[in-house]
Amino acid sequence: MPNFDLHCHSNVSDGLLAPAELVARAHAAGVEVLALTDHDDMSGLDEARMTAAELGMLFVNGVEISVSWKKHTLHIVGLHVDPAHAALQQGLAQVRAGRMERAVRIAAELAKAGIPDSLEGARAFAENQQLIGRSHFARFLVAQGYVKDVKTVFKKYLVQGKPGFVTHQWAELGEAVGWIRAAGGVAVLAHPGRYPIGSTNMRTLLAEFKEAGGTAVEVMTAAHTAEHSRLFTGYAEEFGLLASRGSDFHGPGESYVEPGRLPDLPASCTPVWHDWAETKTLALSRS
């Protein structure tokens, strides 16, 4: 199976590498088709696409949109989106504005817990000042010696019931899928195995996602166990959804796997790329 990695981050959101560096690393790791999917921001796509072209690697415009569904935060990946599309651009601008307002509240909560100046601290770790996320706060907390590593921050801070946690209203599920589709893209439910919801709620979510115009679910992603991959292969078939594969790489030292270094999709899945031009291009280049 060709090596598709359809979920990666650069320092345009909370990844550690510049878009060009990420693309070069993915290419070196054997990725043949890469999507850059930064959180709520598409400003890395031009640089990534140019670098991919220089290296002769196929590139897909992507984005990962933050969504609130019931009490949960979900991530919806958009693939093959047109980055110039107004509705998508405006939608993401709204989400980013909410994100900034959330960052102020996170900093206020951390200050109450005895950690001052964390907004400035997080900003110092963010290449893109329009996109401050919990990972930037996490890197600040580690650098200040409050916590030993980023993974531990997400156990002791910034999550429900811990200092620095705030609730937040992101985009609606239907809105996010609608922006992606309006921009010519396909919507993929990211890392579904990570959501702490039971099977009844998961079925409701998959049905609503499909109804809203969603196309695929991530079956292979770094956060999934083999059991998750089996489970979501079954759900994909049950709900008429295609399957995607993406490492969710954020950078050296903060990720479980390198770009493209995941098992192939199970043979019974229909890949989200089955009818893409990239698939034909790869087949031709090999024949």
- How wide is the angle at C-alpha 119 spanned by C-alphas 7 and 44, nearest 5°? 30
Pick one of 25, 27, 49, 75: the residue that binds Mn ion (CB under 5 A). 75
Q: CB-wise, 16 or 58, nearer to Mn ion?
A: 16
> Which of residues 21 and 278 has its CB atom nearest to ligand AMP in the complex?
21
Residue 83 interacts with which of ligand AMP, Mn ion, none, CB < 5 to 8 Å by class: none
- Convert 131-164 into a string of H (helix), E (strand) and C (coil): CCCHHHHHHHHHHCCCCCCHHHHHHHCCCCCCCC
Chosen from ligand AMP, Mn ion, none, partner binding at 134 (C-beta under 5 to 8 Å by type) = ligand AMP
Extract the tokens encoding 225.
């166990």
Torsion sign across C-alpha atoms 168, 172, 175, 181: positive
Contacts of 146 (CB under 8 A, 6+ apart): 115, 157
Cβ-based nearer residue to Mn ion, 33 or 76? 76
**Residues 3, 5, 10, 14: which binds Mn ion (CB under 5 A)?**
14
- Strands 186-189 and 216-221, how do they pair? parallel
Q: Which does 150 bind (CB under 5 to 8 A by kind): Mn ion, ligand AMP, none?
A: ligand AMP
Number of chain residues interacting with Mn ion (CB under 5 A): 5
The region of 22-30, 72-80, 214-222, 237-245 touching Mn ion under the rule CB under 5 A is 72-80
Q: Which is nearer to Mn ion, 14 or 258 (CB)?
A: 14
* 3-state class (DSSP) for residue 43: coil
Measured distance CA(193)–CA(231) in Å, rounded = 9
Partner touching 118 among ligand AMP, Mn ion, none, CB below 5 to 8 Å by kind:
none
CB of 29 or CB of 111, closer to Mn ion = 29
* Rounded least distance, CB 39 to Mn ion, Å: 6
What is the phi/psi pair of residue 222, to 5°?
-60, -30
CB atoms within 10 A of CB 267: 7
> How many other C-beta atoms are found inside a 10 Å radius of the C-beta of residue 211?
12
- Does 47 interact with Mn ion (rule: CB under 5 A)? no
Question: x/- site string to Mn ion, residues 185 to 214, per CB under 5 A?
Answer: -----x------------------------
Kindly list the residues in this chain that would bind Mn ion in the complex (CB under 5 A).
14, 64, 75, 190, 248
